[in-house]
Structure 1
Amino acid sequence: MLYLLTAAVGAAEAPPAWIQFLPLVGMGLIFWFLIIRPQMKRQKEHQAKVASMKKGDRVVTAGGLVGKVMKVDDDYADLEIAQGVRVKAVKNTIGDIIPPAGKAAND
């Protein structure tokens, strides 16, 4: 009887360790391609957009202020948010550059 019990336990061996890690690797790949990679792409696009900012552009800050760029240096941008009202904003807080009103988006 003891022989049958030990034979049954031996037959149900665990699969190799690398097979047990396959689901984790698969989830990691899915996470990379669906979340991390698109976020990195958006971040690069934003950095390129902020780097191309120049005097006269209309921008929106992350706080929601809309203004015209008066001066740009390495880390800061001076924005005119109303006539005679200027603020200094960190360039990385610029959310978007507003295209000129004369050009339609579908042209």
Structure 2
Amino acid sequence: MFFETLLYAAGPAAGKPGIQDFMPLVFIFIIFYFLLIRPQQKQAKEHQKMLVGLKKGNKVVTSGGMIGIIESIEGNEIVINAGGNCLIRFTKNSVSGMAPVIQIKK
């Protein structure tokens, strides 16, 4: 009787991990893909499309918060008029988006 209680206390013998042990990790990866990775890829694709479509006269916002109008585009660089006679040179990647155009009705 003593040996029988020892066998029950020991539990089942450890075996090779089955596919059931890896299923939670697979589900976590799938959740991360659909909630984080895929939306970030879509956003990066839209940002790249916006950068390709930049042209002179567009009002843009840089990643630093500078708002200005594009004066010229030379390869990977753009020149922004930040107001008055202030021309600033940026790389295209520093443009985070198009600035909203606000029109005041009279």
Q: If the length of structure 1 is used for normalisation, what is the TM-score?
A: 0.80
Q: Which residue pairs with 1:29 in the alignment?
A: 30
Q: Which moved more, 1:43-52 or 1:15-24?
A: 15-24
Identity rate, percent: 32
Distance in structure 1 (CA, Å) of the matches to 2:61 and 2:72: 15
Distance in structure 2 (CA, Å) of the matches to 1:81 and 1:54: 16
Q: Which residue pairs with 1:54 in the alignment?
A: 55
Say whether 1:65 aligns with 2:63. Answer: no
Query: Secondary structure of the residue that 2:56 maps to in structure 1?
Result: coil
Which amino acid in the other structure matches residue 43 of structure 1? A
Which amino acid in the other structure matches residue 47 of structure 1? Q
Query: Secondary structure of the residue that 1:59 maps to in structure 2?
Result: strand
Q: Which moved more, 1:93-102 or 1:22-31?
A: 93-102
| Structure 2 gap segments, 5+ residues each | none
Query: Secondary structure of the residue that 1:60 maps to in structure 2?
Result: strand
Distance in structure 2 (CA, Å) of the matches to 1:53 and 1:14: 62
Q: Which residue pairs with 1:94 in the alignment?
A: 95
Say whether 1:12 aligns with 2:44. Answer: no
Following TM superposition, the consecutive aligned residue runs of length 4 or more in structure 1 with deviations greater than 6 angstroms are none
Q: Which residue pairs with 1:83 in the alignment?
A: 84
For residues 13-56 of structure 1, give each alpha carbon's deviation from its aligned partner in whole angstroms, at most 9, with x where no partner exists. Answer: 55752111000000000000000000110110011011100000
RMSD over equivalenced CA pairs, Å:
2.2
- Note the C-alpha offset of 1:99: 4.6
Q: If the length of structure 2 is used for normalisation, what is the TM-score?
A: 0.80
Number of aligned positions between the proteins: 101
